């Protein structure tokens, strides 16, 4: 009694693990549990039916009884040793051999109503538990035993014991419907788990896609997925902007790490929303500095206008946040336009980046800008001159360039 309860507990655990935790091992346990339980119920039916025909049929009834003993004995070994592969092998052997042996003992195909058809559960079970390659020998063994039974059918028929026609018909019906029902049930269960796993994979793929698009621009991500591992594109005209918070290092000394990260998150979240709004590409954040490009990787003709509109809203948004949290936040913004090379380098931790003198000049525009002002280069001013008003700054010391004339945005033209 205790052994039966332990066995039932193991079967139930294997089934429910396969149902709710569809790993390869748990799914195999669940499928094997279904096959063993089904074959056990059929064995009890055979024992009951054949035993009712009289003492002369005890040898035939002993076959399914012997299967039950071996099955539960191997289950006990598996339970003690935790060797699922041993239990699997034993069960597949019994599922394959027992139906054929029972057919031989009864008297061949006709007398047994083709009871050997139950053996197909062995290669089918091997296919779903062990996989395609390891299941092939089990199927070949099934075919071999079927041909052997056919060749020796006359010998078995000579020694057949008389089976009442009603019992034969019952066996025939059970052999057809029983194997069909079990196969359908197992395959349905397997397909349900497959659909569940595929659905989980689709969810994870969507998450991976979203994460990838948070790291790289969509066109670049598509090229990387297409195995284009060397991405370096030249753009004749883009606009690059750098924005840097004023005195943020001094302010951060008075904040806890949590407060610092929370403040930067609030600021850069607003900037990211503006980047989406104006369809420009955020390149990266460097400490408290924010870098963005317009016109790459998606080419557009109004890249300078998009960038200026974003810069103005960044100033307004930072001022609004400053008043809301009671901290005096300021920012310098520098913008430059011109050609760049943009792409992805390396084989891990991908990042989309820009290279070229245009990028360096944009950084210098930010470094030399006035507090809470937007400073642009001559190239950007030329692109915006009809829509914005600028004041000239002469003799600005620009690292690597010497003294240059730059322009500070004053106000939009009416």
pLDDT in tens, 106-147: 888 888 888 889 899 899 888 888 888 899 999 999 999 999
Which pLDDT value is given to residue 23?
60
Count of residues for the chain?
A: 414
Alpha-carbon Rg for the chain, nearest whole angstrom, is 38
Higher pLDDT pick, 341 / 55: 341
Placement of tokens 């317009």 in the chain = 294
Is 8's pLDDT higher than 60?
no
CB atoms within 10 A of CB 322: 15
Strand (E) or helix (H) holding 14:
helix 2-20
pLDDT band, very low/low/confident/very high, at 253 (cuts 50, 70, 90): confident
Of 408, 335, 409, give the one whose Cα is nearest residue 365: 335
SS3 content of the chain, % helix, strand, coil (to 5): 65, 15, 20
Is 224's pLDDT higher than 50?
yes
**pTM, whole model, 2 decimals?**
0.59
pLDDT band, very low/low/confident/very high, at 243 (cuts 50, 70, 90): very high
Task: Work out the angle at residue 226's Cα, subtended by the Cα atoms of residues 222 and 231, and round it to the nearest 5 degrees.
Answer: 70
> In 3-state terms, what secondary structure has residue 344?
strand
pLDDT band, very low/low/confident/very high, at 16 (cuts 50, 70, 90): very low
Which pLDDT value is given to residue 362?
97
Is 320's pLDDT higher than 60?
yes
Which pLDDT value is given to residue 28?
73
Instruction: Specify the range with the lowest mean pLDDT, choosing from 127-136, 219-228, 272-281, 322-331.
Output: 219-228
CB atoms within 10 A of CB 114: 18
> In 3-state terms, what secondary structure has residue 159?
coil
Strand (E) or helix (H) holding 337:
strand 331-344
Rounded to the nearest 10°, the torsion over CA 53, 56, 60, 64 is 70
Question: Tell me, what DSSP letter sits at residue 400?
Answer: T
Higher pLDDT pick, 142 / 38: 142
Which pLDDT value is given to residue 372?
93
Higher pLDDT pick, 201 / 378: 378
Of 138, 136, 135, 129, give the one whose Cα is nearest residue 24: 129
Is 299's pLDDT higher than 80?
yes
CB atoms within 10 A of CB 217: 19
What CA–CA distance (Å, rounded) separates 334 from 309?
Answer: 13
Which pLDDT value is given to residue 3?
42
Inter-CA distances, 404 with 147, 244, 393, Å: 94, 21, 8
Mean pLDDT of all residues belonging to the chain: 85
Q: Could you report the per-residue pLDDT of 149-190, keeping only the tens digit for each?
A: 999 998 888 877 788 888 888 888 888 888 888 888 878 887
pLDDT band, very low/low/confident/very high, at 347 (cuts 50, 70, 90): low
> In 3-state terms, what secondary structure has residue 229?
coil
Which pLDDT value is given to residue 18?
44
Query: In sequence order, what are the beta bridge partners of 292?
Result: 241, 282
Higher pLDDT pick, 239 / 22: 239
Higher pLDDT pick, 275 / 6: 275
Give the start-end residues of each E strand in 217-299: 231-245, 281-286, 289-294
């Amino acid at each position: 009694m205790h052994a039966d309860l332990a066995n039932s507990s193991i079967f139930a655990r294997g089934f429910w693990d396969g149902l709710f935790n569809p790993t390869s091992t748990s799914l195999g346990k669940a499928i094997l549990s279904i096959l063993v339980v089904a074959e056990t119920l059929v064995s009890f039916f055979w024992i009951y039916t054949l035993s009712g025909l009289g003492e002369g049929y005890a040898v035939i009834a002993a076959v399914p009884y012997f299967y039950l003993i071996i099955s539960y004995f191997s289950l006990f070994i598996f339970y003690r040793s935790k060797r699922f592969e041993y239990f699997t092998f034993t069960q597949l052997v019994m599922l394959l051999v027992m139906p054929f042996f029972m057919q031989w003992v009864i008297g061949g195909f006709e007398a047994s109503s083709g009871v050997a058809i139950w053996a197909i559960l062995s290669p089918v079970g091997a296919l779903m538990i062990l996989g395609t390659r390891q299941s092939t020998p089990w199927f070949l063994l099934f075919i071999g035993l079927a041909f052997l039974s056919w060749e020796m059918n006359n010998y078995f028929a000579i020694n057949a014991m008389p089976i009442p026609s009603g019992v034969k018909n019952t066996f025939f019906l059970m052999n057809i419907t029983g194997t069909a029902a079990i196969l359908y049930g197992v395959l349905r269960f397997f397909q349900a788990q497959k659909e569940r796993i595929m659905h989980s994979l689709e969810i994870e793929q969507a998450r991976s896609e979203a994460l990838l698009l948070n790291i790289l621009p969509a066109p670049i991500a598509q090229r990387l997925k297409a195995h284009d591992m060397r991405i370096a594109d030249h753009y004749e005209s883009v606009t690059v902007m750098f924005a840097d918070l004023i005195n943020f290092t001094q302010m951060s000394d008075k904040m806890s790490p949590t407060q610092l990260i929370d403040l930067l998150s609030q600021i850069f979240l607003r900037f990211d929303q503006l980047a989406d709004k104006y369809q420009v590409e955020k390149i990266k954040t460097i400490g408290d500095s924010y870098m963005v490009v317009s016109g790459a990787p998606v080419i557009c003709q109004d890249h300078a206008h998009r960038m200026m509109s974003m810069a103005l809203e960044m100033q307004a948004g930072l001022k609004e946040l400053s008043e809301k949290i009671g901290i005096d936040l300021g920012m310098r913004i520098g913008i430059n336009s011109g050609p760049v090379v943009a792409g992805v380098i390396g084989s891990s931790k991908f990042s989309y980046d820009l290279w070229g003198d245009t990028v360096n000049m944009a950084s210098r525009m930010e470094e030399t800008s006035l507090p809470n002002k937007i400073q642009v280069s001559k190239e950007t001013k030329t692109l915006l001159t009809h829509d914005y008003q600028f004041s000239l700054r002469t003799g600005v010391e620009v690292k690597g360039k010497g003294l240059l004339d730059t322009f500070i945005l004053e106000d939009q033209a009416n």
